[in-house]
Structure formats: structure tokens, C-alpha cells
Amino acid sequence: MSSTTPNARVLFNAIPQGVPIPGETTVYDSSPTIDLENHPLNGGFLVKTLLLSIDPGMRSRMRNPEEKSFAPAYPIGEPLAGFGIGVVLRSENPDVAVGQYLQGGGFLYQQYYVLPSLPSAMLFLDRHPDVPLTTYVGALGLPGKAAWAGWKEFSNAQKGDTVFVPSGASAVCSMVIQLAKLEGLKVIASAGSEEKVDFLRKLGVDVAFNYKTVDTRGVLEREGPIDICWDIVGGDVLNAALDNAAVGARFLKCGQMTILNKVGSHALIIENPMAIFGKSVSIHIMSSPVHIPKHLAEFNRTVPVALIDGTLVSSPEDVRHGLECVGEMIRAVQSGETKGKVIVVVGEAA
């Protein structure tokens, strides 16, 4: 006897011109169903999606596939894909057991689906009983791992250094701030609301300010020069930081929020390249697939324990429920309206 279960999904429907529009760029499709007991596995395994992340970088995949980038473009008419957590319901793969949790990239924004084998971007998740599952999307997920790997790989932090972290209240940047403070560095950080600035102060930021009401360049001229800059913003903020860089400064690029939604703009625009050459500034690009594996073992040994004992704290979480909210939350993330790491609860663990 068979019975069907709803198997909703979120499809990529159209390449956006600017900020993605819910119902136009992405479409919530509740029509599919699945027979969980009898759906053919063909040697693979059936995954139940539990949590999904809504990340700024998803916007870069909403493009013409002929435009090459670090990650493939989303195919029109297919489910979105990104970072998530799931659990195995059935398996014909000898390397994957029923009940195992999975964490990583490549999760379809769909309730259930079959994988033939474990993708390289997914790992088995060894849950700690004292850590909420949502933490494995934020501080113990891609944001935390990216921050840890980039910092360890490129910061070359020295006593007395000054660090600038724009968009400091984000999940990635708040981890960077904490790593810098643990090394005793001076941290300058900005955010887009007074609530977020208060969070930065709780992290121990030495100079915290609202970039919407305070001039970033003026702060850097007064509080710099900058030895390390962790930048996910780009644009005028990056140029202001370069103009106020110390000799030998290290700039760590982990995103380019200012151009994600600008039509036809995909370039890193630096207005004063002599600020790089004249001060011997090095610019490093943090690549999750390249750098996270190199530092993952140390991350797994260190960060979960630090979160449990309070040495590190998670960024605020904005938890939503149901795939139907994915399109709206993508728009909100791109518009800077969210108040923490956006996590969508798709299903509950048994």
C-alpha cells in the first residue's frame, strides 16, 4: 500500500533585474507529492530537508548560465540550491545510513529528494547535544567556517593591529570580529541599525557605528590606519578602507554586496589602485571550497567547544518556517532588512 506526502519546492523562475522579486524570480510550488516508503532510490538515499540557509551569495547564481562565476547559475525551472541540514530517511547506499544528519551545500530547496551519493559539498553532521540545530547553519555552518578559514589563512594578525569589519553584525563578520578580539586586536565595525550596533558593542568592538548615520571614511581617518579589513561590502566602503590602509595591510574579500543587485555590474571597482601599490596592500579572496577544507579539522575541534563555554557567541538568528517564505526572505536579505542569520525551518527531525 502506498500513500503520498506533499513535497513542496522553491523554483528559480526568472533572472532578476535588480533585487529578486518573490513570485517572479522564485516561485513556491506546492503541487509535487512523493511516496516516502516506495519512491525508487536506485542505489541512492532519500533526504528529508530540515533547515535551509538564505545567503546573500544566492543572488550571484540568479544569472544567465553563460556568465561564468565561482558557482553555477541556477537552472530556470529547477529548485534553488544552497546550504542546509537534512536527515536520511531511507538508503540503499552502503556508505549512508538511515538517521544520519547531513550538513553542507547543495541542498535543494525542496522537502524531500533522492541523492545517488554524498556530494562533495555535504558532510555527515555529528550533532552535539548542547548545541541547537540552527547553530549548525550559522556559527557552525558556512558563515562560521568561512570566517574561521579566511581569518586563519590570510589575516596574519599581529599584536597592535587595527581591524575594520563593515557589515559587522552579519553571521560571517560577527565571527571574524570575535576572532580578532580573542587575539587582542582593535576592531572597528559598522552596521546598518542602532540595534545591530548595540550587538557589535556586546561583541567587544572598540569602535562601533551606524554607517547610515555616520560617515565611514571619517571614522577610518580618525581611528585608522587599518592593518586588516574583512570586506563583504565593496564599493565606497572598500575604497574608503583602501585609502586608510596601513603599509602592508591585508584585505580579505568575502563578498561584494554593493553590486549583487546592480544590473550589468559584476566587477570589483577600485577607484584608487595606487592605494594598493603605494602601501603594498595585499588583497585575498576567501573561497569556501578552497579554504574551508584546509582549516575544517581545527574548526571542528575548537569552535563548538568555544560556543558551549561562551568564549564565542552566535550571531542573532532570524528563524522562519516553511518553504513558502523563501522568496520573501531572499528579497529581505538582499535589501538589508533582516536582523540576523536567516534560517528557514522546512521539517522537523523525528
**Residues 25-35: pLDDT tens digits?**
999 999 999 99
pLDDT at 288 (0 to 100): 82
122 and 13 belong to one structural domain = yes
Indicate whether 183 and 75 sit together in one domain.
no
Same domain for 181 and 90, yes or no, is no
In a domain, 309, yes or no: no
Residue (of 142, 12, 9) closest to 83 by Cα position? 142
Single residue among 289, 308, 336 that ends a domain in this structure: 289
Number of domains in the chain: 2
19 and 128 together in one domain: yes
Residue 14 burial (10 A CB sphere; 0-12, 13-18, 19+) = middle
How many CA atoms does the CB half-sphere of 104 hold within 13 Å?
A: 18
26 and 102 belong to one structural domain: yes
pLDDT band at 264 (very low <50, low <70, confident <90, very high): very low
CATH of the domain at 152: 3.40.50.720
Structural domain ending residue among the three candidates 274, 289, 304: 289
Write down the H helix ranges in the chain.
142-154, 171-182, 194-202, 216-223, 235-243, 257-260, 274-279, 288-309, 326-334
Kindly indicate the confidence band of residue 14, based on its pLDDT and cuts at 50, 70 and 90.
very high
53: pLDDT strictly greater than 90: yes
33-46 confidence digits (pLDDT tens): 999 999 999 999 99
Residues 128, 250: one domain?
Answer: no
In this structure, the answer to whether residues 129 and 186 fall within a common structural domain is no
Residue 106, in any domain of the structure? yes
Q: Is position 310 within any domain?
A: no
DSSP 110-129: BSEEEESS--TTEEEE---T
Assess whether 259 and 203 both reside in one domain: yes
- Do 233 and 260 form a contact (C-beta atoms < 8 A)? no
Q: Is residue 128 located within the same domain as residue 156? A: no
d(CA 179, CA 147): 9
How much is the average pLDDT of 130-141? Answer: 93
Do 284 and 182 share a structural domain?
yes
- pLDDT tens-digit readout, 196-255: 999 999 999 999 999 999 999 999 999 999 999 999 888 888 999 999 999 999 999 876
Q: Give a yes or no: residue 13 inside a domain.
A: yes
From the centroid of its chain, how far is CA 65?
22
Q: Which domain holds residue 14?
A: 5-138+316-345
Report how far residue 201's alpha carbon sits from residue 80's, in angstroms, rounded to the nearest whole number. Answer: 36
303 is a domain residue? no
User: Is residue 256 assigned to a domain?
Assistant: yes
Give the CATH number of the domain where residue 96 resides: 3.90.180.10
Judge if 114 and 160 occupy the same domain: no
Q: Tell whether 62 and 147 lie within a shared domain.
A: no
Tell me which of 248, 272, 289 is where a domain ends. Answer: 289
Per-residue pLDDT tens over the stretch 142-170:
999 999 999 999 999 999 999 999 989 98
In a domain, 335, yes or no: yes
